[in-house]
Amino acid sequence: MDESVTQHLILRYIYGETGPAEDLKVRGILSSNSEMMSYYKDAMEIKAQLNDAMEEPHPTSVSIICEHSHNSHTEAV
Amino acid sequence: MQKDIIADGVLLKVYLEGNENALETLIKRHKSRIFTSILLLVNDRYLAEDIFQETFIKVINSLKSGKYKHEDKFLPWALRIARNLSIDCIRHRGRIPMISDNDGQNIFDYIKVVQDSCERGMIEKEENISLRKLVHSLPEEQKEVLILRHYADLSFKEIAEITNTNINTCIGRMHYALLNLRRMIKKNPVVIK
């Protein structure tokens, strides 16, 4: 299989977009191809770092939205 | 034991029947993904807060005026609104002249950083800011796919639809985004833990 096709398949696997047959295929590739295993590990490492960088809005923003909703509901009633 | 999660569609229905708590549950469920996506697109916390609010106000107005089509999933729909508002904002900001220091840094960035910490008491982790900078420095098309796939949790198929491309192009952009991030992180080992 072409290298980039394999890497794309691994990316879909990492993001849970592969079916059972493709999952088996990827596991087979990872256990037999050290370059692809290295690609997989690198991608997983960056994925973990991106997860750590998740941010939350300030609570005031949520309050403003809820207030808008409440007011528009009251107006409608 | 797994906790039962009420589906977004059910929450929307309950909300439209007048239960305001359902909206709060929806916001709490999706706020991190939506806010992080906006923040990474506009790279400015103040603007991101404004766009986040504007996104949900549009969501509420569309829901209450009956414009929301139930066949759309809530998160992709809300993210589409957030993305469009972010892009409009970036375009508008592009027309506003920047005042830069000797290093080319917008001086208002410094002011915003100071205000942010003083007024809001929010302390961002240094490594988060650095990673955010690296993501922001990716080519636009790669950055967009990375944000929509990783933070917005859209499938490559959904991203292809939103960005008017095909799935293989989206996966290819994601591949290069991760390679570029990996390369930049290696260059900045002190910055990123």
pLDDT tens figures, B5-36? 888 888 998 998 889 999 999 999 999 999 99
Residues B15 and B82 in one domain: yes
- Burial bucket for residue B126 (CB in 10 Å: 0-12, 13-18, 19+): exposed
Residues B74 and B130 in one domain: no
With an 8 Å Cβ cutoff, is B85 touching chain A?
no
Min distance B58 CA to chain A CA atoms (Å): 10
* Inside any domain, residue B167: yes
Residues B64 and B137 in one domain: no
Residue B64's pLDDT is 87
* Inside any domain, residue B187: yes
With an 8 Å Cβ cutoff, is B29 touching chain A?
no
With an 8 Å Cβ cutoff, is B115 touching chain A?
no
ipTM entry:
0.83
Residues B140 and B73 in one domain: no
DSSP tag of A33: -
**For residue B37, what are the contacts with CB-CB under 8 A and spacing of at least 6?**
B79, B82, B83, B86, B147, B148, B151, B152
Q: Mutating which of A51, A69, A72, A74 best tests the B interface, going by the most B Cβ atoms within 10 A?
A: A69
Point out the residues of chain B with pLDDT beneath 70: 1-4, 70-72, 94-129, 189-193
A7-63 pLDDT, tens per residue?
999 999 999 999 999 999 999 999 999 999 999 999 999 999 898 888 999 999 999
Instruction: Write down the mean pLDDT value for chain A.
Output: 91
Q: What is the DSSP track for chain B?
A: -PPP---HHHHHHHHHTT-HHHHHHHHHHHHHHHHHHHHHHH--HHHHHHHHHHHHHHHHHHHHTT---TTS-HHHHHHHHHHHHHHHHHHHHHTSPP-B-TTS-BHHHHHHHHHIIIII-----HHHHHHHHHHHTS-HHHHHHHIIIIIS---HHHHHHHHTS-HHHHHHHHHHHHHHHHHHHHH-TTT--
Inter-chain Cβ pairs, chain A and chain B, closer than 8 A:
97
Please tell me the total count of domains within chain B.
2
CATH number at residue B35: 1.10.1740.10
* Inside any domain, residue B102: no
Closest Cβ opposite residue B49 in set A17, A61, A76: A61
Query: Considering Cα of B45, then B50, then B153, then B165, what sign does the dihedral take?
Result: negative
* Inside any domain, residue B151: yes
* Inside any domain, residue B111: no
Strand partners, B165: none
Residues B76 and B13 in one domain: yes
Residue B104's pLDDT is 43
Domain span holding position B157: 124-193
Nearest chain A alpha carbon to B22: A66
* Inside any domain, residue B73: yes
Decide: B131 and B192 in contact? Cβ < 8 Å. Answer: yes
CATH number at residue B170: 1.10.10.10
Q: Mutating which of B171, B179, B180, B187 best tests the A interface, going by the most A Cβ atoms within 10 A?
A: B171
> Cβ separation of A49 and B57 shorter than 8 Å?
no
